[in-house]
């Protein structure tokens, strides 16, 4: 069974192509899920896949795209039906 994590990314992460970069990184790592903007300025991600790939994606969240300024990343393991593909919306 794949590992799934929900993460919340804070800082200057909206309007800097964070979701598109997350989608690109997810495809590169072979994980599924989504990234979406929240009304409070954070980005929420759900990632499912092999543990090593999920760990790599969660580590990447601290970096994000070049214009992002990440101040905090909070991730928690969740039990959900793994999504197919990766959606950015």
> Catalytic site residues?
19, 37
**Residue count of the chain:** 89
Q: How far apart are CA 67 and CA 18, in angstroms?
A: 8
Q: Read out DSSP for 36-73? A: EE-TTS-EEEEEEE-HHHHHHHHHHHTT-STT-EEEEE
Q: How far apart are CA 17 and CA 25, in angstroms?
A: 12
């Amino acid at each position: 069974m794949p590992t799934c994590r929900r993460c919340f990314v804070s800082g200057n992460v909206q309007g800097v192509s964070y979701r598109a970069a997350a989608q690109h990184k997810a495809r590169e790592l072979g994980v599924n899920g989504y990234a979406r903007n929240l009304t409070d300025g954070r980005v929420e991600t759900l990632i499912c896949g092999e543990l090593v790939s999920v760990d790599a994606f969660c580590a990447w969240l601290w970096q994000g795209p070049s214009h992002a300024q990440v101040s905090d990343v909070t991730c928690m393991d969740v039990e959900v039906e793994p999504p197919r593909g990766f959606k950015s919306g």
